[in-house]
Structure formats: structure tokens, C-alpha cells
Chains A and B, each alone.
Chain A
Amino acid sequence: GAVVSQHPSRVICKSGTSVKIECRSLDFQATTMFWYRQFPKQSLMLMATSNEGSKATYEQGVEKDKFLINHASLTLSTLTVTSAHPEDSSFYICSARDFTSGGKGETQYFGPGTRLLVL
């Protein structure tokens, strides 16, 4: 199946700093990527849809100025948590849809996740 990578896998930062998380599709092109947030022992919460070459679409309640998304190429999307605070500590997961394996893009492939801890 398609492979999606994330970097870094784990990051610890001080309150007030910004953190950038990268999401890459390694063996396919992804015009659309998704960013999720997962709290302990809970399901995934969709934060935003990242579209290559255009602005991201944010879900209700997600601050677009807080979580900056850039989809600079067909294989890379970045999520920047600006002025991070302890409440932003979470597990962030990206995913991408693969239209190139003969499907209709109905399957999402997930990255391994990035654990963010803000002190």
C-alpha cells in the first residue's frame, strides 16, 4: 500500500515557540492531505484538509491562525503549531488519499504520527 511519512516523530518544545510537522507521501502524489489530532484513548479529530496549491479547509472550532497548513507540493504538507501552549500537546496524524493505485481515492493512508509535548 501507499506510504506516508511524518517528521519529526516526537518533539518537545517550550511554551510560546512554534513547531513545524512535515507529512510526505513517499510513493504517490497527493493533491489532498488531512491533518488529525488524537487525544489519549480517543478517536481521531479531523482538523483540516490540505489542498495542494490552495488554502486549507479548516474544521469548525480549529483556529487557522494557530495551526498553519501549507501544501507546497504534491508530496508534502506541513502543519505549523504557532505559539504553542501546553494545551496543544497531543498526537498529530496526517493522511493522504491515493488516486494512483486504481482506486477512487476512497482509502486514506496515514502517517505514523507526531507526538508534541509543550512544556
Chain B
Amino acid sequence: GDSVTQMEGPVTLSEEAFLTINCTYTATGYPSLFWYVQYPGEGLQLLLKATKADDKGSNKGFEATYRKETTSFHLEKGSVQVSDSAVYFCAISGGSYIPTFGRGTSLIVHP
């Protein structure tokens, strides 16, 4: 079945540092790829998505590119802020449109 592997956290950075959270997947066909963010005590919010190979999803300074050749969808941001501290989930969605989530990566940004 489909699976998602995310780098284990927590990832701890200083404000304005560069962020990369790795995500790789295994799936049949051509899934859609997503990054969701969960702030403490809240539900998940869609951060960005890409639905086909080489698409780049972007939002709030975050971006990720759908790399079919490496089955990856790494999340990046050039300059993180304290307010970006949250848990980030990578997810894929195939024909059934029921997403498979990674385990989540906690990001902690210090001032």
C-alpha cells in the first residue's frame, strides 16, 4: 500500500534560518502530494499541494516540488519565524482520495 516517510523531529532552528523537512513516498500511480501544518491544540491546515510531477506548491513562504523520479516532496522555507513552530505532516492521496499521512515532524523555532 501507499506509505509516507518523513524525517524525524524535532527540528530546532533559530529565527531566519533555512528549513528543509524531507518527505519521500511509495505509491502506485500518480498520487497528489500535500503538506499540512498543525499548530498546538488545533486541527490540520492545508499548507500547500501539488497534483502532478514537477509541480511546485507554495504558500506563506513555504514551497515543495513534486519529484516523481525521486518520489519526494521536501518542504522548504528560506527564513523561518517563531510563528512557524508547529507539526508538519506530509501526505499523499491516490485514486481513493483518502490521504496517507507521515508521522509528522515537529518544528521549533527559537528567537
Contacts and interface: CB of A to CB of B under 8 A. Distances in A.
A109 B106 CA distance: 21
Contacts of B46: 1, 107-110
B69 interface: no
B45 A110 contact: yes
A15 to B, nearest CB: 24
A61 to B, nearest CB: 15
B97 A105 contact: yes
Contacts of A93: 43-44
Interface residues of B, number: 21
Chain A interface, DSSP helix/strand/loop, else mixed: strand
Which interface class (under 10, 10 to 19, 20 to 34, 35 or more) fits A?
20 to 34
B89 interface: yes
A86 to B, nearest CB: 20
Interface in A28-64: 34, 41-44, 46, 49
Contacts of B45: 110
A6 interface: yes
B36 interface: yes
B93 interface: yes
Contacts of A97: 97
21 contacts: A1-B46, A43-B101, A43-B104, A44-B89, A46-B98, A49-B98, A93-B43, A106-B49, A106-B97, A107-B34, A107-B49, A107-B93, A108-B46, A108-B93, A108-B97, A110-B36, A110-B45, A110-B46, A111-B43, A113-B41, A113-B43
Complex A-B, nearest 4 residue pairs according to Cβ-Cβ distance, in ascending order: A110-B44, A113-B43, A112-B43, A110-B43
